[in-house]
Chains A and B, each alone.
Chain A
Amino acid sequence: MTVILWLIAAGALVAGGFMAAFVWAVRSGQYDDTTSPAVAVLLDDPALPARDTGRKGSLDA
């Protein structure tokens, strides 16, 4: 039955990892807006007109 002890230890490790990942996700602002990104991915662009704007400007700067 000592295998249960190993199992619990391994389980705690995995669960703890996910818990830490969740806390990181919350802290880094991924839960600040739960509506807009979910909508944004569903919208397709039609074929873009050829125009190079050199668009940059990540907001994470």
Chain B
Amino acid sequence: MREPPGLCPVSLMATALTSAFDRPTAAAASVAHCRHCGNACAGLLLANAHGTFCCAGCASVYALLAEHGLDQYYRCAPDAGRPQRTDIDAARWALLDDALSAAQFLDGGDGTWRYARFGVPAIHCASCLWLLERLWRLEPGVGRCEVDMVRRTVRIAFRPDVTTLRRVAERLASIGYAPALDPEHRADAPASRRALYTRIGVAGFAAGNMMLFSIPRYASGPALEPIFQRLFDTLNVLLALPVLVYAASDFFVAAWRAIRNRTLTLDVPVAMGLAVLFGRSLFDIVSGQGPGFLDAFAGLVLFLLIGRLFQQVAFDRIAFDRTVRSFLPLSVRVMTAEGWALRAIDALLTGDVILVRPGEVIPADATVVDADGAVDLAFVTGEQAPVAVTAGVTVVAGARVVESPLRVRVLRPVSHSRLASLWQASTAVHKPSHWLTLVSARFGQGFTVLALTLTAAGAVAWWPDAGKAAQVATAVLIIACPCALTLSAPITLGTAAGCLGRAGVYLKDAAVLLDLSRVDTVVFDKTGTLTRAETRAVLDRHELSAEDWARVQQLAAASTHPISRALAGHGVHATDARNVQERAGAGIVGDVGGARVALGTAAFVQRIAGAPAVSVPGRTYASVGPRVGWLTSTTPAREGAPAMVEAIARLADPWLVSGDHDLTAGQWTPIFGTHMRFDQSPDDKQRFVRSVQARGRHVLMVGDGLNDAVALGSADVGMAVSDDAACLVPACDAVIAGDAIGVLPDVLRYARRARHVIVLCFVVSVFYNVIGLGLALTGALTPLATAILMPVSSLTVVGLSTGLMRVAVPGGRR
């Protein structure tokens, strides 16, 4: 992205060239930041009355908000705006005019108001909330808008007589909050969490009140009258019953399930400990031997439930949808006797003729019906250049239609298509079950055996005295309850996953962090990972004016060459070019607005324009009449990517494995050295990952798109780079936002810290257990000691795991 000084490079990604070209500014000051998204506008700058912007998308969002007095948006949170470079095909909203498709987003209503629920992946901060709740000021007919920041959904009231669902969606998109149209992004209020909250309430209620009734028995001083002793004990039992039957039921169910599967997870000793705790207390109370341990029992259940809540909240934050459906349209137009009708893609039959519009993905393997058209296979092979297709040609599912609508005849139903099998192949790759489950199972086994052995030993040691032996045995079982152990991993990992989410790294589940902590080799894909996904044309205006470039752009829109596409942007569809001739490998020439316009190699342009043009590699020349200019097309490296790889090299072995030719290898040689592989097919990438793993290494694969899916699935951790949160990738364990790629080294370090924190928690809780076991085996474990020891050990673990994971978080400016 570094341009020689004195040139006037302008990004041509955005749509409105005419307005965008008002005042293109030289990118002399590298400190200029986009008024909307705050990104440094290095080299690409656009200035108008509102300030400087990195692209026309950002500028138009800013203008819209300023016009409606909503620029407060930029003051609510420091990083409110998100870059608007991701192009969204405007045609997709037309789907919402169709009642069948729209019904999936409607959520009840009454006479006047209708309610829509959308998943909006762009929601990320307080400003988003602020702006979306004021949507009614931007769109007439819109009422209240409720935002759920964690699940990233909005619920919008609108008047169907004033506006339409489609207009609401378009309005959301116009301010940078495009709703996701795939059904998996719809969120319904989860009922399961309500049950957990109620359980916590019951356990907390019981624990608090039982503490009150227990204190008189712990306190020194004159003994309580027996009648009150009995009363308090009875009340404690009454309070403990709902805890046992309702609040703690999940733990018993989990333990029972583990036993039925013939495994001993940590749930088993937990359930055993809880059961013995309650049973022994009941026995003590009924036989009049003492107050039992019921307060400790309720407190323990409360802590365990809070740990579970932590886990679920963390899961909410990191939950993302990984189904292949995200790529596919919801429904497509099918030709019927009465004309075109919309049908869900699952209902497509072999032989159906469907109409796929530009930008949409063909949902099933099909043959082309139209005389000609073009598709690109970016999702399937990663190849971005469009391929021309003619009638009778077979196109695979996942191919994306470009330029003009295409009619195709379905060959195979959706679920059998090649795209689906690519997806299934990648998920079928056997992944060893997660470290955490393994540890829990192995630890649970060892723990259960050890606890039972100690129990037996304690009982034998005190044997002649049967009563004492039973007391000691139950005390050992109680204190051995590994509650602190079960708390440490979910809380540490849950906290960490939440913090990572705020830094732009989303984990499939929290245990991925443990896999990440063992990574010693990082394999990078190039295009879309270390570089941006799209080709960008950077103009040197030379002799050509802005109007001239607008003409060149019109000409470029008539071509399917990648450089032409980058030049034309996605907005220009209609073209005024006449007499267009394209010569493969040379260029394209035509008449635009009365001038002869050419675009192509130096020799080609020189011949048309009659003016000299010196051939320089990487340049494409353009001429309008006799005036000549050139543009440089690049797939620029992401900001900070080279520095990031250098930082990774200190932690793990970096490798570059690219599907492209090694045209740009020079840029990466100083960083990767010989650790580079080019021209790798998706299968080659997988083979490479496997070969590294065969040497006993743990591989993190960082890639994009479906073409990396198999390699992502094979790696120990597959991390997908995504510029558009709505467009997610199957078969990965984590997603990292494109602009967050720089934090990757910090993420690796953070993951290693998480493992150390868990080990530390284990050590601490074992320390408490040893003290407790000492007391238990000598028969000195009093109810009071239990009531203190257990909460203290749980609290230490909770404090350690949350505290240590909250300091020095990756991407810590938030």
What residues make up the interface of A, taking CB atoms closer than 8 Å to B? Answer: 1, 4-5, 8, 11, 15, 19, 22-23, 26-27, 29, 31-33, 35-36, 39-40, 42-43, 45-46, 48-49, 51, 53, 55-59, 61
**Which one of A27, A43, A55 lies within 8 Å of B130 (CB-CB)?**
A43
- A29 CB, nearest partner CB in chain B, Å: 6
For the complex, what is the distance from the CA of A4 to the CA of B193, rounded to whole Å? Answer: 38
* In the assembled complex, B405 has its CB within 8 A of some CB on chain A: no
Q: A53 to B193, Cβ gap below 8 A?
A: no
Q: A59 to B115, Cβ gap below 8 A?
A: yes
Given A43-B129, A46-B69 in contact, is the A61-B148 Cβ separation under 8 Å? no
Given A15-B209, A19-B205 in contact, is the A26-B126 Cβ separation under 8 Å? no
* In the assembled complex, B578 has its CB within 8 A of some CB on chain A: no
For the complex, what is the distance from the CA of A10 to the CA of B349, rounded to whole Å? Answer: 69
Q: A35 to B143, Cβ gap below 8 A?
A: no
**Which one of A29, A36, A46, A53 lies within 8 Å of B189 (CB-CB)?**
A29
In residues 185-239 of chain B, which contact A (Cβ within 8 Å)?
Answer: 189-190, 193-194, 197-198, 201-202, 205, 209, 212, 225, 228, 231, 235
Q: A42 to B190, Cβ gap below 8 A?
A: no
Q: A32 to B193, Cβ gap below 8 A?
A: yes
In residues 115-170 of chain B, which contact A (Cβ within 8 Å)?
Answer: 115, 126, 129-130, 133-134, 136-137, 140, 143-144, 146-151, 155, 157-159
Q: Count B interface residues, CB 8 Å.
A: 44
**Which one of A19, A43, A45, A56 lies within 8 Å of B201 (CB-CB)?**
A19
* In the assembled complex, B113 has its CB within 8 A of some CB on chain A: yes
A-B contact pairs, 12 of them (CB 8 A): A1-B228, A8-B235, A11-B212, A19-B201, A33-B150, A36-B147, A39-B129, A53-B137, A55-B136, A55-B144, A58-B144, A59-B115
Residues of A within 8 A of B465 (CB): none
For the complex, what is the distance from the CA of A32 to the CA of B72, rounded to whole Å? Answer: 28
Q: A26 to B198, Cβ gap below 8 A?
A: yes
- A17 CB, nearest partner CB in chain B, Å: 11
What residues make up the interface of B, taking CB atoms closer than 8 Å to A? Answer: 68-69, 72, 76, 109-110, 112-113, 115, 126, 129-130, 133-134, 136-137, 140, 143-144, 146-151, 155, 157-159, 189-190, 193-194, 197-198, 201-202, 205, 209, 212, 225, 228, 231, 235
Q: A57 to B72, Cβ gap below 8 A?
A: no
- B115 CB, nearest partner CB in chain A, Å: 7
Q: A43 to B193, Cβ gap below 8 A?
A: no
Residues of B within 8 A of A29 (CB): 189, 194
Q: A22 to B201, Cβ gap below 8 A?
A: yes
Residues of B within 8 A of A33 (CB): 148-151
**Which one of B143, B148, B198, B225 lies within 8 Å of A56 (CB-CB)?**
B143
- A59 CB, nearest partner CB in chain B, Å: 6
For the complex, what is the distance from the CA of A59 to the CA of B130, rounded to whole Å? Answer: 17
The chain B residue with its CB closest to the CB of A26 is: B197
Q: B129 to A57, Cβ gap below 8 A?
A: no
Q: B133 to A59, Cβ gap below 8 A?
A: no
For the complex, what is the distance from the CA of A22 to the CA of B69, rounded to whole Å? Answer: 40
Given A27-B194, A46-B69 in contact, is the A59-B146 Cβ separation under 8 Å? yes
For the complex, what is the distance from the CA of A1 to the CA of B109, rounded to whole Å? Answer: 59
For the complex, what is the distance from the CA of A27 to the CA of B195, rounded to whole Å? Answer: 9
- A9 CB, nearest partner CB in chain B, Å: 11
Please indicate which of the listed interface residues A4, A29, A36 has the most CB atoms of chain B within 10 Å of its own CB.
A36
Residues of A within 8 A of B231 (CB): 5, 8
For the complex, what is the distance from the CA of A55 to the CA of B135, rounded to whole Å? Answer: 11
- A22 CB, nearest partner CB in chain B, Å: 5
For the complex, what is the distance from the CA of A26 to the CA of B195, rounded to whole Å? Answer: 8
**Which one of B134, B155, B201 lies within 8 Å of A26 (CB-CB)?**
B201
Q: A35 to B69, Cβ gap below 8 A?
A: no
Residues of B within 8 A of A26 (CB): 194, 197-198, 201
Residues of B within 8 A of A8 (CB): 231, 235
The chain A residue with its CB closest to the CB of B235 is: A8
For the complex, what is the distance from the CA of A15 to the CA of B140, rounded to whole Å? Answer: 48
Residues of B within 8 A of A51 (CB): 137
Q: A57 to B150, Cβ gap below 8 A?
A: no
Residues of A within 8 A of B143 (CB): 55-57
Q: B201 to A61, Cβ gap below 8 A?
A: no
- A45 CB, nearest partner CB in chain B, Å: 7
Q: B113 to A36, Cβ gap below 8 A?
A: no
Q: B115 to A40, Cβ gap below 8 A?
A: no
For the complex, what is the distance from the CA of A16 to the CA of B157, rounded to whole Å? Answer: 37
For the complex, what is the distance from the CA of A40 to the CA of B123, rounded to whole Å? Answer: 14
**Which one of A19, A31, A42, A59 lies within 8 Å of B144 (CB-CB)?**
A59
The 6 closest A-B pairs by CB, nearest first: A57-B143, A57-B157, A36-B149, A43-B130, A57-B113, A26-B197
Residues of B within 8 A of A53 (CB): 136-137, 140
Q: Knowing that A45-B72, A56-B112 are A-B contacts, what are 11 other residue pairs whose CB atoms are under 8 Å apart, sorted by A's residue number?
A: A26-B194, A31-B193, A33-B150, A36-B148, A43-B126, A53-B137, A55-B143, A56-B113, A57-B144, A57-B159, A61-B109
Please indicate which of the listed interface residues A4, A5, A11, A43 has the most CB atoms of chain B within 10 Å of its own CB.
A43
Residues of A within 8 A of B157 (CB): 57-59
Q: A23 to B130, Cβ gap below 8 A?
A: no
The chain B residue with its CB closest to the CB of A18 is: B205
Q: B149 to A39, Cβ gap below 8 A?
A: yes
Q: B133 to A40, Cβ gap below 8 A?
A: yes
Residues of B within 8 A of A35 (CB): 148-150
For the complex, what is the distance from the CA of A5 to the CA of B234, rounded to whole Å? Answer: 13
Residues of B within 8 A of A48 (CB): 69
**Which one of B68, B150, B155 lies within 8 Å of A59 (CB-CB)?**
B155
Given A23-B198, A35-B150 in contact, is the A15-B144 Cβ separation under 8 Å? no
- B118 CB, nearest partner CB in chain A, Å: 14
